[in-house]
Chain A
């Protein structure tokens, strides 16, 4: 049973990891908690569902949805956040802005699509394979694989491409990067784009995993994913994965041994403990105390 539960947790964790990378990348560069990311993820899922209902066929719908969500990411940055950077406003200002944005997105979704849960098509064949008396459904397997691929792809982008180099440069020192002629604003937009894309993919996968989507789906998953990101060491992609899996597994184990009502706060309990013991998370870089 525990093995089974751990497997449930792994799949859940992968989904958190997918959302977490969005938080991680943005925070890495802007030192900003993008509270609208949960809403972006919900947007991704619902837009895909909407496009599916337009009979575009599943795959085109998903690709289109991913594109739209990515663009949404850019739009948010250009419209609301870049101006704040220009007048280099306090971080709290941007924080409140993202909260506002998340309100706008979620409630527009509710206004247009209604808040009820809607059935989401399954992306993977039904049924399951049984490896030594515990079961993995194809959906779980599919989710796991796709998430892994996506995360690897992201890591390649960040570590192997020149754009990724620019991203890492801006992460370590945004001013220096500017001086070195890195088009920081473009890099940031691109980051938001990637964030949106990964969020949309996460949205599609998770919705098909639960076979439903609804506007408020981003609320809790968003908060948990963010704590996953911090857990793993915000700004680090492997960290996001480890953090996500940690949260996912501990969550389903908590649900098993203490009961479902505990699951929502496990993430936060772990988070607080980790922050107190190792404030920079598992993989975070240590910042030197300076005067």
Chain B
């Protein structure tokens, strides 16, 4: 009998925990007025924007960055009386950077009656969720998705991040012209983004064959694996002088560390999504001299950038990465659009976003007919554990 009492107790315990979990969910939803019931009247005095990004799991640092940036932008607007009096409410959804979760999250966002989303992080995940947003007229701006097909999924799908090809050109330009190397190796992560980017880079290298540029080796690695030595050994045997790392900082940093053990004077070039403080903390001395093209540079002396970086640093104790800055601007774009046309008509909101020309911390943003953006790149290099502009040395 005692056993059954124990069992009953534990069962009750479980139920309590679940209930608590439920309540927790409820309360937070209420904070964010997402209970569909009181949606009607709430939409009058508050505008709710969703951040859908990895808050836990791989790449969570990016998702948290998005969330911070959007919150910051929202607070700035709210400080000035919100959007035409509407207070802004940021609702965060964790998609663990998994397509599976993203689909659930997207449905939940629609369910919660939210009409604008900043996210998702990776192209694959964004593209899994996008159809749901299109179907339900939710404006999605991804600050990071860079897969060519992403924005073509639907009218409501925007990308505030440059398409790979331009970035790839810029990266290659650093390798060949700034670093003056000809034997280029590629290490790419095996994700949709990594594979397509690697393809483009390879193509560009072939085009530069006349300048004597050669592709020594191309190694694909699984995202999240920690041991790149087999790949490095192969690259090194092939006489690579500069490695283009097609991946986030969590590829670039360990790659640099492990490569420099074998060949201290190897050069590495990254992509803008590896431009984040974590690169420095994780890579340490190894990432010294690593360069990449960015459309946002936190050390820049432009006024608006300074203020953004400083207040971000104040709020969250770190410097915003390029993608974070793009999230910040994306939020700004949504709010401005809402200011123009209000929040009640998603179609109008979508058109407003499409038409808008927005001057933000990542330069002037104007979506083209494919709902993509063009931006100019600045070249950044790591010097004495700091990011500095390349031409400034």
What residues of chain A have their CB less than 8 Å away from a CB belonging to chain B?
Answer: 1, 4-5, 8, 12, 110, 114-119, 126-128, 135, 137, 139, 210-212, 216-217, 220, 252, 255-256, 259-261, 263-264
The smallest C-beta distance from B109 to any residue of chain A, in angstroms, reads: 22
The complex places the Cα of A12 from the Cα of B60 at a distance, in Å, of 27
Q: Which residue of B lies closest to A9 (CB)?
A: B230
Q: Chain B residues near A110 (CB, 8 Å)?
A: 56-57
* CB neighbours of A259 from chain B (8 A): 219-220
Contacts from B to A (Cβ < 8 Å): 56-61, 190, 219-222, 224-227, 229-231, 233-234, 237, 250, 253-254, 257-258, 261-262, 278, 281-284
Complex Cα distance A79/B210, Å? 69
A114, closest chain B residue (CB): B60
Give the residues in chain B near A8, CB-CB below 8 Å.
Answer: 227, 229-230, 233
**Contact (Cβ within 8 A) A115 B230:** no
- A119 and B250 contact, CB distance less than 8 A: no
B262-A264 in contact (CB<8A): no
Residue contact B230 to A135, C-beta cutoff 8 Å: no
Contact B257 A211 (CB under 8 A): yes
CA–CA, A115 and B190, complex, Å: 20
* Chain A residues near B283 (CB-CB < 8 A): 119
- Assess whether A260 is in contact with B61, with CB atoms less than 8 Å apart: no
- The answer to whether B230 and A252 have CB atoms under 8 Å apart is yes
Complex Cα spacing A135 to B283, Å: 22
B58, B219, B221, B229, most chain A CB atoms within 10 A: B229
Q: Which residue of B lies closest to A138 (CB)?
A: B261
Given A135-B262, A260-B220: A115 touches B229 (CB 8 Å cut-off): no
Contact check, A115 vs B226: say whether CB atoms are below 8 A apart. Answer: no
Say yes or no: A116 contacts B60, CB within 8 Å: yes
Question: What is the bound-complex CA distance between A75 and B224, given in angstroms?
Answer: 30
* Residues of A contacting B227 in the complex (Cβ-Cβ under 8 angstroms): 8, 12, 210, 252
CA A217 to CA B250, docked complex, whole Å: 13
8 Å CB contact of A212 from B59, B254, B261: B254
CB of B261 within 8 A of CB of A115, answer no
User: Are the C-beta atoms of B278 and A260 separated by less than 8 Å?
Assistant: no
Given contacts A210-B254, A212-B254, A256-B233, contact A263 B225 (CB under 8 A): yes
CB neighbours of B257 from chain A (8 A): 211
A1-B234, A256-B233 given; A116·B222 CB < 8 A: no
Minimum CB distance partner of B189 in chain A = A260
Given A119-B282, A139-B261: A5 and B61 interface contact (C-beta under 8 Å): no
Is B262 touching A261 in the complex (CB atoms < 8 A)? no
- The answer to whether A264 and B229 have CB atoms under 8 Å apart is no
For the complex, give the distance between the alpha carbons of A261 and B224 in Å: 12
- A260/B219 contact (C-beta < 8 A), A128-B262, A211-B254 known: yes
Q: Which residues of A contact B254 (CB under 8 A)?
A: 117, 210-212
| 26 pairs, CB–CB < 8 Å, chain A vs chain B | A4-B233, A5-B233, A8-B227, A8-B229, A114-B60, A115-B58, A117-B250, A117-B278, A118-B281, A118-B282, A119-B282, A126-B261, A127-B261, A128-B262, A135-B262, A137-B262, A139-B261, A210-B226, A211-B284, A220-B225, A255-B230, A256-B233, A259-B220, A260-B221, A263-B225, A264-B222
With both beta carbons as reference points, the residue of chain A lying nearest to B221 in the complex is identified as A260
Q: How many Å lie between the Cα of A1 and that of B227 in the bound state? A: 17
Which residues from chain A contact B278 at a C-beta distance below 8 Å? 116-117
Distance of A96 Cα from B120 Cα, bound (Å)? 34
Rounded to whole Å, the gap between the CB of B231 and the closest CB of chain A is 6
Within the complex, what minimum Cβ distance (angstroms) separates A165 from chain B? 36
Q: Is the CB of B226 within 8 A of A128?
A: no
**Which B residues are in CB contact (< 8 Å) with A220?**
225
Tell me the smallest distance from the CB of B14 to a CB of chain A, in Å: 12
How far does the alpha carbon of A99 sit from the alpha carbon of B219 in the complex, in Å? Answer: 34
A116→B219 CA distance, assembly (Å): 24
Pair B262/A252 contact, Cβ less than 8 Å: no
A128 to B259, CA, bound (A): 12
Provide the bound-state CA to CA distance between A38 and B59, in Å: 21
A1-B237 contact, Cβ under 8 Å, with A12-B227, A252-B229: yes
Assembly CA distance A263 to B228 (angstroms): 11
Interchain CA distance A118-B277 in the complex, whole Å: 12
User: Known contacts A135-B262, A256-B230, A260-B230; is A114 also within 8 Å of B222 by CB?
Assistant: no
Q: Which B residues are in CB contact (< 8 Å) with A4?
A: 233
**Nearest CB of chain A from residue B166's CB, rounded to whole Å:** 28
Contacts A260-B225, A264-B222 hold; do A119 and B284 have CB atoms under 8 A apart? yes
> How many whole Å from B7's CB to the nearest CB in chain A?
12
Q: Are A212 and B231 in touch, CB under 8 angstroms?
A: no
Q: Is B61 touching A128 in the complex (CB atoms < 8 A)?
A: no
Q: Check A260 against B231 for contact (C-beta < 8 Å).
A: yes
Q: A212 near B262 (CB under 8 angstroms)?
A: no
Q: Nearest Cβ distance between residue A240 and chain B, in whole angstroms?
A: 20
Does the CB pair B261–A137 fall under 8 Å?
A: yes
Once bound together, how far apart are the Cα atoms of A119 and B219, in whole Å?
A: 24
B233 close to A1 (CB less than 8 A): yes
Please indicate the chain A residues that have their CB under 8 angstroms from the CB of B225 in the complex. Answer: 220, 260, 263-264
Check B230 against A5 for contact (C-beta < 8 Å).
yes
A261 CA / B58 CA spacing, docked (Å):
19
Shortest Cβ distance from B250 into chain A, in angstroms? 5
Determine if B58 and A260 form an interchain contact, defined as CB atoms under 8 angstroms apart.
no
Return A168 CB to nearest CB of chain B, in Å: 34
Chain A residue nearest to B280 (CB atoms) is A119
CB distance from A103 to the nearest CB of B (A): 13
B3 (CB) vs chain A CBs: closest residue: A87
**CB neighbours of B234 from chain A (8 A):** 1, 256
Question: Given contacts A117-B250, A128-B261, A252-B230, is CB(A261)–CB(B190) below 8 Å?
Answer: yes
Complex-state Cα separation, A139 to B58, whole angstroms: 27
Provide the bound-state CA to CA distance between A115 and B226, in Å: 15
Q: Which of B56, B227, B234, B284 has the most CB of A within 10 A?
A: B227
Residues from chain B with Cβ under 8 Å of A263 in the complex:
222, 225, 230
